[in-house]
Chains A and B, each alone.
Chain A
Amino acid sequence: MHKVAADLTRILGSQQVLWEREHLATYGFDGTAALEAPAGCVVLPKTTAEVSEIVRYAAHNRIPVVARGSGTGLSGGSVPVPDCIVLCLVQMNRVLELDQKNLTIHVESGVVTQKVTELAEAAGLLYPPDPGSMKISTIGGNVAENSGGLRGLKYGVTRDYVMGLEVVLANGEVVSFGNKCVKDVAGYSMKDVFIGSEGTLGIITKVLLQLVPKPQAKKTLLATFSQMDAAAETVSAIIAAKIIPCTLEFLDRITIRCVEEYAHLGLPLNAEAILLMETDGHPAVVEEEARQMAEIARGHGATAVQLAKSEEEAIQLAAARRAAFSALARVSPTTILEDATVPRSELANMIRFIQQTATKYQVTVGTFGHMGDGNLHPTFLTNEKNAAEMARVEKAMEEIFDYAVCLGGTITGEHGVGLAKKAFLPKAIGDASLGLLRQLKRTLDPDNILNPGKIFD
């Protein structure tokens, strides 16, 4: 055992410190393709006090700390850096309070997103953010990446539900921001600095989340298209008609095939694209919106529009859609998932550009995504062992990012920058913004021990 592991064992006890090769090899990656690095050691704290002690020790010895939850991130944000301490928060998974009077839930950061969803549901409430990995992703990870999900266009993203945070700073100090008040303007909104900070500014240990009343009714529709841009135009038309459904999800032909192979739901295999549309709220409004959306879809060339027969079928459709990314691995072993996002009026342009770029560089791209909020997931289906193809993928990816930015969009809608998109960040946000990001990082983490080398160098 090396010295760091031995020291940490004295602080935490041997059960919570892992240093054997057979453990370290399993913490060298997250959900991102082709990114891997060995951890120095892994710690599994159970309390905020323990996290504080670990960070204090790391700060004193200038050892990098990489925080992670379940390791489902898609930008390499929790991939270890050399000789770091991987701080895995999955064992800090207590639910502290569900407050039905204030509609809030207070949890430790290692609580799995699905658990929050289920607890809310049981109380007749809703926790809207539902990232694809919600079955296993942790709330702490969701906050650190500011995760989105399938309901973003109506309900927003994780940030919109965070009312308060407890954070361990780079010097080990524990601070809390926010409370159960709907309004609070005392000082800077510091919680917002830590949301989406990807573990580079502090370690999130507790989260206070806002819940909303569960909608009384819901309707799920599945529209089939023989052309991809017809689906994109349908989405733009729905938004232009001033309808904000909770879900407008898009899957292209390759994705449909892979998802169907996994989920066996009877999806139309000969379609070029499908749109999964969902509206929720007051029964009368839901009825009316579903009718309008079906009409708009047909008007824009949908060959079929079906209504989910039951609540169960609707849930299965959403679950199948969430599995899209992983299901695409059926085609090829390396799936490089991007999340270029554009204003919704530009969707058809973006979709066409992705298709053209794939053809130009002779790479296979499966595209799906949250079309309703302009957040697309063009996924390169490749093999990391094929260097020539990987090089073409890189080029195609860069062009897609450039085009997204040029349309007024962004390089990442919900996965974060991490390692995967670090190279593209300067161009996307500009020197002045990047300078400010760096200055903030220096202020909060002067020794650069928290997840160094992520987002920017």
Chain B
Amino acid sequence: MATQEELHRAVVDIGRASPEGRKGTAKYLKLLDYSVLQQCIHCGMCLPTCPTYDETKLERNSPRGRIALMRHIAEDRLEVTQAFGRELYFCLGCLACETACPAGVHYGEMFENARSDIEQAGVLRNGVRDRVRGLTLRWLFTRPRALRMAGRLTWFYQASGLEFTVLKLKLTRLLPTRLRALESLTPRVQSHFSDALIRPVETPPNQKYRVGLLTGCVQDLAFSHVNRDTADVLLANGCEVITPRAQFCCGSIHAHNGELELAKQMAQRNLGTFELERLDAVITNAAGCGSHLKNYGHLLQDDPIFAERATQWSAKVRDIHEWLAEIGIRTPAASVQQTVTYHEACHLCHGQKITRQPRQVLRAIPGLELTELPESTWCCGSAGIYNITQPEMSQKLLQRKMANIGKTAAQIVASANPGCSVQLQTAVHNLNLKLEIAHPISLLARAYRKSDVQG
């Protein structure tokens, strides 16, 4: 087992140190269609929307700079170096640059391939980092049962009083500072996961559609109630909900962290989850997953067996807000006298270009007052596991986000991605704020329930 010090270093060093001067050759960036790399005309329109460039004002920390490096590598003018590795792990992968890009550059695709090259070349490798990646990416997130088991253990730690005791006795002080911060970033795990809360098939009395519901990984462990709320909202809007008990991780965490082959395997496994032909849509309520799920068609485009199925899949996937906007949202009868502001998850607004629909959901709730959040599309610093790998930059972004939230004086912050919600929740907890973080769908579900009670 790794010592505590090693673990600490690993947490900080994911995407950082390993023996200096390591180099390697690229495979993924070279296999990538050159036109994808060539699409960037380096006009610079992405620079003002890039959170890392905004912070440092260094070209290398901008999308344009990173693409230039990738191009250098694809053209053999530069090897895959450690500095390149660090750079690509300093990138949040928020995709704000894709929204800003008039030329339609697919930065996300380049980013995933570049990170795969970094892992393949091993320029950031060290023993502990390998072990952490092996345990999480290769083991935990490929095995749904193991993940739920890990979830149960965490729940036990949090619910049994053990966590309370540890915190009370200030035992976390024994941990290095960064690991102590990580303790507070651990999401509150729910006592019941989605399979205990949602039956495999639930049918509303006035059924108009049939949809499949994806329960996600973090969503399932930490926000299983959001999955229940999603099912309730779908039912309230005439959708029969099919929720298979065993679901696999969608693979976005693998694709974003340099494990494209694993990501493809996860996608292949997921394609068997539903009888697609029988469904009107496959629903996801986690922005990060949704963005990746819609990309299956592209991810498996060269797969002789799965390509066609993956295209069908991608065509059926809908973010919950998108789906509701498409079929029309039933207005709840009861009104809610609260103020809300909407934080846009990167993989919803940039990854999926969904900005209008979540606001439609919020506006559908009578009495709920929506105040626009300044810089609503600026990343909160969660960015998958970025808050663990790059704590400093992540904290800066979180502070900026919280300052903007403060300007709205809203009572609730609506956020449609589990990563963002954990990140915001951490700030609320640390700053001791009276602020609720909720999924827009939970707010809608709550309004429906209130209507039911009032009859």
Contact with B along A74-107 (1 / 0, CB 8 A): 0000000000000010110100000000000000
- When distances are taken between beta carbons in the complex, the residues of chain A under 8 Å from B62 are 26
Are B102 and A44 in touch, CB under 8 angstroms? no
B45:A135 contact, CB within 8 angstroms: yes
Is there a chain A Cβ closer than 8 Å to B159's Cβ?
A: no
Annotate B69-96 by CB proximity to A: 1 below 8 A, 0 otherwise: 1001000011001011001000000000
Contact between chains at A325 and B48 (CB < 8 Å):
no
Q: Does A33 contact B (CB under 8 A)?
A: yes
- In the complex, what's the smallest C-beta–C-beta distance from A383 to chain B, in angstroms? 8
- From the candidates B41, B58, B59, B64, name the one contacting A329 in the complex (CB within 8 A): B41
Bound together, the chains give a CA A335 to CA B69 distance in angstroms of 20
Q: Is B104 an interface residue (CB 8 A)?
A: yes
CA distance A258 to B101 in the complex (A): 12
A residues less than 8 Å from B101 (CB atoms): 326
Query: Would you call A326 and B59 a contact (CB within 8 A)?
Result: no
Query: Is A422 interfacial (CB 8 A cutoff)?
Result: no
Residue B433 at the chain A interface, CB threshold 8 Å: no
Instruction: Say how far A456's CB is from chain B's closest CB, in angstroms.
Output: 25
- Would you call B44 and A133 a contact (CB within 8 A)? yes
Give the Cβ gap from B85 to chain A, nearest Cβ, in Å.
Answer: 10
Identity of the chain A residue whose Cβ is nearest the Cβ of B61 in the assembled complex: A26
CB of A138 to closest CB in B, whole Å: 11
Instruction: Tell me if A184 counts as interface (CB < 8 A to partner B).
Output: no
Q: Output the nearest chain B residue to A34 by Cβ-Cβ distance.
A: B41
B7 at the A/B interface (Cβ < 8 Å)? Answer: no
A71 at the interface (CB under 8 A from B): yes
Choose from A71, A91, A324 the contact partner of B44 (Cβ within 8 Å).
Answer: A71
- What is the CB-to-nearest-CB distance from B44 to chain A, in angstroms, rounded to a whole number? 4
B398 at the interface (CB under 8 A from A): no
User: Is A31 a contact partner of B44 (Cβ separation < 8 A)?
Assistant: yes
Contact assessment for B69 and A329 in the assembled complex, using a CB-CB cutoff below 8 Å: no
- Contact of B83 (CB < 8 Å), options: A20, A27, A135: A20
- Does A408 make an interface contact (CB < 8 A)? no
Closest to A86 in B: B59
Please state if A90 and B78 are interface contacts (CB–CB under 8 Å): no
Report chain B residues within 8 Å CB of A93: 57
B59 near A27 with CB under 8 A, answer yes
Instruction: Find out whether the CB atom of B57 lies under 8 angstroms from the CB atom of A133.
Output: no
Q: Please give, as numbers and ranges, the residues of chain A lying within 8 Å of B45 by CB-CB distance.
A: 133, 135-136, 323, 326
Contacts of B65 in A (CB 8 A): 26
Q: Which B residues touch A18, using CB under 8 A?
A: 58, 60
Chain A residues near B64 (CB-CB < 8 A): 26
Q: A136–B47 contact, CB under 8 A?
A: yes
- Give A259's nearest chain B residue, CB to CB: B102
| Chain B nearest Cβ from A110, distance in angstroms | 8
Report B-chain residues with C-beta under 8 Å of the C-beta of A70. Answer: 44, 47
Q: Give the interface size bracket for B toward A.
A: 20 to 34
Assess the B60–A72 pair: CB atoms within 8 A: no
- CB contacts (< 8 Å) of A324 on chain B: these are 102
Query: Given the complex, which residues of B lie within 8 Å of A136, measured CB to CB?
Result: 44-45, 47-48
In angstroms, Cα B48 to Cα A245, docked, is 30
Q: Which residues in B have their C-beta under 8 angstroms from that of A88?
A: 59
Q: Are B41 and A31 in contact (CB under 8 A)?
A: yes
B60 touches A329 (CB 8 A): no
- Output the nearest chain B residue to A331 by Cβ-Cβ distance: B103
- The yes or no answer to B31 lying at the interface (CB within 8 A) is no
Q: Which of B343-379 contact A (CB under 8 A)?
A: none
Task: State whether B69 touches A262 (Cβ < 8 A).
Answer: no
Partner of B78, one of A22, A135, A262, A326: A22
Output the least CB separation between B106 and chain A (Å): 12
Q: With an 8 A cutoff between CB atoms, is A217 at the interface?
A: no
Q: Shortest Cβ distance from A47 into chain B, in angstroms?
A: 15
B39 CB contact (under 8 Å) in A22, A26, A333: A333
Known: A22-B87, A71-B44, A91-B57. A323 touches B72 (CB 8 A): no
Partner of B42, one of A31, A135, A261: A31
- Which of B38, B43, B57, B83 is the one whose CB lies under 8 Å from A22? B83
Whether the pair B57, A90 counts as a contact (CB closer than 8 A) is: yes
Is there a chain A Cβ closer than 8 Å to B68's Cβ?
yes
Q: Say if the beta carbon of A21 comes within 8 Å of chain B.
A: yes
Contact A31 B43 (CB under 8 A): yes
| Selected contact of B43 from candidates A21, A23, A44, A72, CB within 8 Å | A72
Does A25 lie at the interface of the complex (its beta carbon under 8 Å from any beta carbon of B)? yes
Identify which of B35, B60, B77 contacts A26 (C-beta below 8 A): B60
A165-208: which have CB < 8 Å to B?
Answer: none
**Chain B stretch 219-235: residues in CB contact (< 8 A) with chain A:** none
* Cβ–Cβ contact B69 & A326, under 8 A: no
Residues of A within 8 A of B78 (CB): 21-22, 25
Task: Give chain B nearest CB distance to A292 CB in angstroms.
Answer: 33
Choose among A20, A30, A91, A330 the residue that contacts B103 (Cβ–Cβ < 8 A): A330
Tell me, rounded to whole Å, the shortest Cβ–Cβ distance linking B118 to chain A. Answer: 13
Q: When the two chains form the complex, which single residue of B35, B48, B58, B72 contacts A333, counting CB atoms closer than 8 Å?
A: B35
A22 and B69: CB pair below 8 A?
yes
Q: Contacts A25-B72, A133-B45, A135-B45 given: A329-B57 contact, CB under 8 Å?
A: no
A329 near B102 (CB under 8 angstroms)? Answer: yes
The answer to whether A26 and B44 touch (CB under 8 A), given A323-B102, A333-B35, is: no
Q: Does A349 contact B (CB under 8 A)?
A: no
Chain A residue at minimal CB-CB distance from B83: A22
- Let me know if A227 is at the binding interface, CB within 8 A: no
A72 CA to B41 CA in the complex, in Å? 10
Asked if B41 contacts A326 (CB within 8 A), the reply is yes
Q: Which positions 370-400 of chain A face chain B at CB distance < 8 Å?
A: 383, 385
* CB of B39 to closest CB in A, whole Å: 6
A130 to B21, CA, bound (A): 45
Query: In the complex, A71→B62 CA distance in Å?
Result: 12
Interface membership of A29, Cβ < 8 A: yes
Min distance, Cβ B193 to any Cβ of chain A, angstroms:
40
Asked whether A112 lies within 8 Å of B48 as measured between CB atoms, the reply is yes
Distance, CA A327 to CA B72, complexed state (A): 24
- In the bound complex, residues from chain B placing their C-beta under 8 Å from that of A135 are 45, 48
Cβ contacts A250-274/B at 8 Å (1 or 0 each): 0000000011011000000000000
Would you give the shortest CB distance from B447 to chain A, in whole angstroms? 30
Contact flag A335-B57 (CB < 8 Å), given A70-B47, A327-B102, A329-B103: no
Query: Which chain B residue lies CB-closest to A114?
Result: B48
Q: Are B103 and A26 in contact (CB under 8 A)?
A: no
Judge whether B58 and A23 touch: CB under 8 Å.
yes
The verdict on A343 contacting chain B, using a C-beta distance below 8 Å, is no
Nearest chain A residue, comparing its CB with the CB of B49: A135
Chain B residue contacts of A91, Cβ below 8 A:
57
Tell me if A28 is interfacial: C-beta within 8 Å of chain B.
yes
Contact A333 B38 (CB under 8 A): yes
Q: Which residue of B lies closest to A20 (CB)?
A: B83
Q: Is the CB of A262 within 8 A of B48?
A: no
Please indicate which of the listed interface residues B42, B81, B84 has the most CB atoms of chain A within 10 Å of its own CB.
B42
Question: For residue B81, which residues in chain A have a CB less than 8 angstroms away from its CB?
Answer: 21-22
Interchain CB contact under 8 A, B104 and A262: yes
Q: Which residues on the A side are within 8 Å of B72 (C-beta)?
A: 25
Query: B residues touching A (Cβ–Cβ < 8 Å)?
Result: 35, 38-39, 41-45, 47-48, 57-60, 62, 64-65, 68-69, 72, 77-78, 81, 83-84, 87, 101-104
15 A-B pairs whose Cβ atoms sit less than 8 Å apart in the complex? A20-B83, A23-B59, A23-B60, A26-B65, A26-B69, A72-B43, A112-B48, A114-B48, A136-B44, A136-B48, A261-B104, A262-B104, A326-B103, A334-B38, A383-B38
Known: A23-B59, A136-B48. 12 other contacts (CB 8 A): A21-B81, A22-B81, A26-B62, A26-B65, A133-B43, A136-B47, A323-B102, A326-B45, A329-B41, A329-B103, A329-B104, A333-B35
In order of increasing CB-CB distance, the 6 nearest A-B pairs are: A329-B103, A26-B65, A326-B102, A323-B102, A26-B59, A333-B38
